[in-house]
Structure 1
Amino acid sequence: MNKEEQVIMGFRDLYNKIVWLNKDKMEESLKGFKSSEVHCIEYIEKNVDSNVTKLAEYFYMTRGAISKLTKKLIKKGLIESYQKSDNKKEIYFRLTEQGKVIYKIHEDLHKEFQERDKAVFDKITEEQFDSMLSFVEKYSKHLDQEIKKMDIDNKSE
């Protein structure tokens, strides 16, 4: 296995371990909520004027799938829609009080997991962080370009 394959396998292995370690506590604390619902709530809380288009782009989902998801969250009383007085066409989302409770539980769990893993991150130098962040950014930009190519190819078919 070459170094490129080792890096990709390493990322995949790390991700799978994190998911496995966090799964039981997440499911127990957020019973009755799917991961996609919780992450949609998180995005809406952290991003002002979230709408179907922004959510679809962020989650790499279709607008139809996001519409379904947001309707479910509205029905559960976790988010509400609103419009701006200067733009009656666009519909935006914000959390309800109940949605903010779910957001807080999720954030607290992430802080707990971050604390658990602190021992590793405390030993990493600024240069190592910068190097890793640089790699992640370059790889992410490359993948963005590949996604754009796919969109162009799909639209031309």
Structure 2
Amino acid sequence: MNKEEQVIMGFRDLFNKMVWLNKFKMEDRLKDYKPSEVHCIEYIGRNVDSNVTKLAESFYMTRSAISKITKKLIEKGFIESYQKSDNKKEIYFRLTPQGKVINKVHEELHKEFRERDKAVFEQVTEEQFDSMLSFMERYSRHLDAEIKKLGVDSKSE
């Protein structure tokens, strides 16, 4: 296996380990919620004026799939929709008090996971962080270009 393959496999392996390790606490503390719902709540909590298009772009899902998720979240009382006075066409979302509680639990879990992994990140130099971030940004731009070449807008329907 060459270094390129090692990097790709390493990313995949790291991601799978993180998901597996985090899964048990996430499922225990957020057992009544689907991961897609929790991540939608997280995005809305972090981003003012979230709408279906922004959510679809962020999650690489179709607008119709996001519409279904947001409809369920509204029905469950976790988010509410609103419109701006200057734009009655666009519908935006914000968290309800109940949605804020779920978001807080999720944030606390991520903080706990960061604490668990802190020992590794404390050993990484600024130059190493910069190098890793630079690589990820280049690779992401490359993948965006490849998606665009296919003539598929991965961020819409």
Range into which the TM-score falls when normalised by the shorter chain? over 0.9
Cα deviation, 1:113-138, whole Å, max 9, x if unaligned, reads: 00000000000000000000000010
Cα deviation, 1:52-98, whole Å, max 9, x if unaligned, reads: 11111111111100000000100110000000001000000000000
Q: Distance in 2 between matches of 1:140 and 1:69?
A: 26
Secondary structure of 1:88's counterpart equals: strand
Residues 147 and 153 in structure 2, CA contact (< 8 A), matched pair in contact too: no
- Structure 1 match to 2:74: 74
- Structure 1 match to 2:10: 10
TM-score scaled by length of structure 1? 0.95
Q: Which has the higher contact order (CA 8 A, sep 6+)?
A: 2
- Structure 1 match to 2:61: 61
Is 1:44 the counterpart of 2:41 in the alignment? no
| Alignment CA distance shift 1:153-1:23 (3 Å) | closer
Larger mean CA deviation between 91-100 and 140-149 belongs to: 140-149
- Structure 1 match to 2:139: 139
Structure (1 or 2) with the greater helix fraction: 1
Runs of 4+ displaced beyond 6 Å: none
Q: Distance in 1 between matches of 2:83 and 2:12?
A: 40
Gaps (5+ residues) in structure 2? none
Q: Distance in 1 between matches of 2:37 and 2:89?
A: 25
- Structure 2 match to 1:148: 148
How big is the shift at 1:106?
A: 0.3
Q: Distance in 2 between matches of 1:30 and 1:55?
A: 21
Residues 81 and 94 in structure 2, CA contact (< 8 A), matched pair in contact too: yes
Gaps (5+ residues) in structure 1? none
Percent of aligned positions that are identical: 80
Residues 49 and 92 in structure 2, CA contact (< 8 A), matched pair in contact too: yes
